Amino acid sequence: MKKKEITLILVLFLSFCFFGCSKKRVLEGYVIDAFQKKPLTEKKVWIDQKEYLTDQQGRFETDGILPESVSIKIDGDERFEAFSDQIILHQQHNLRKFEIRARHPLDLPHEKSYLPYSYSLLLKSGKDNSYNDVSLAISGIPADQSFETKGVYLDQQTKQPVTQHLLQLGFNFWYKDEYQNWQYSSMPPIDIPIWGMMIDSYVSAMYEFYYNLDYSYQVDPEEQVIRGEKVRKIIIKPLNDTNLFKEMTIFMVTEGINQGAVWEALLVLEEHAWLGPRVQISFLEVNTSIILNPPEITH
């Protein structure tokens, strides 16, 4: 190859590198919530102090950007925390996804309001504020699907009160029959409500509501005291049709060893087969050691 041709190739290569590196870059970003990965619309995004707004897909796209490193800030609001980072734009067209965490409704650290690994509660339900159809004590370890239930409930068919003592360990069930003898079943007993699994879905919603976009909520500014704990009232409503509940009011502990825990809850349901339209749940303990062992069957 002639020296003139080599020189020309080098000039073209250097020109390509120079003009390629000096081209402005574009950032196409998508802002989503960290829990359900849903797009967040009308979120203000600041790229090196220039404002952009996300659309219905949570998308924004910048103008041409000359610097390779840019700062990004996303405004926080009542529902979501603010976000900031420094990012590198390696390509001419850069695609990024930004996950935004929900803000705790009481501005507590997130680790203060995780779903408890164990709890003991009193469950009452009925057709009015007397809650006289169901009265049960439940202790549970939800991750193990293990619950113990003791108390009385009204059979919806016979309209007679039924005394129940049920122990569930995974998918093994022990229950006392009408003669107060223990029986065992590897399947859920017929016509006996499995209260622990039934109630656990509501307990999960009590802790997920603020980062689950299927719910809206309103926090009462006034502090109350329930059974020795300072609490704040939070009213939760589903945004879409759901069979879980119509409205739920929870009372969340604001300080102390139980900070972030739900201490009491009132639920308004559709006409539930066993619970009726109104439920009251009072938590006695959360995140304490609970030992559930199968009973001895002696007959």
Q: What is the pTM of this model?
A: 0.84
Q: Please provide the CATH number assigned to the domain covering 25-100.
A: 2.60.40.1120
> Residue ranges per domain, the chain?
25-100, 110-286
Q: What pLDDT is stored for residue 159 in this prediction?
A: 83
Residue 14: is its pLDDT beyond 60? no
Q: Which of 117-121, 124-128, 261-265 has the lowest mean pLDDT?
A: 124-128
Q: What pLDDT is stored for residue 150 in this prediction?
A: 96
| Residues forming beta bridges with residue 108, ordered by sequence position | none
Q: Matching CATH topology for 25-100 and 110-286? A: no
Q: What kind and span of H or E run contains 196? A: helix 195-208
For residue 55, give every residue at least 6 positions away whose Cβ sits within 8 Å of its Cβ, in sequence order, or none. 41
**110-286 CATH choice from 3.90.1150.10, 2.40.10.120, 3.40.50.620, 2.50.20.20:** 2.50.20.20
CA gap 147, 174 in Å, rounded: 11
For residue 70, give every residue at least 6 positions away whose Cβ sits within 8 Å of its Cβ, in sequence order, or none. 27, 47, 48, 86, 87, 89
- Tokens 């087969």 identify what position? 273
- Which of the pair, 58 or 298, is modelled with greater confidence? 58
Paired tokens of 13 = 């290569």
Q: Look at residue 34 and give its three-state secondary structure.
A: coil
Residue 271: is its pLDDT beyond 90? no
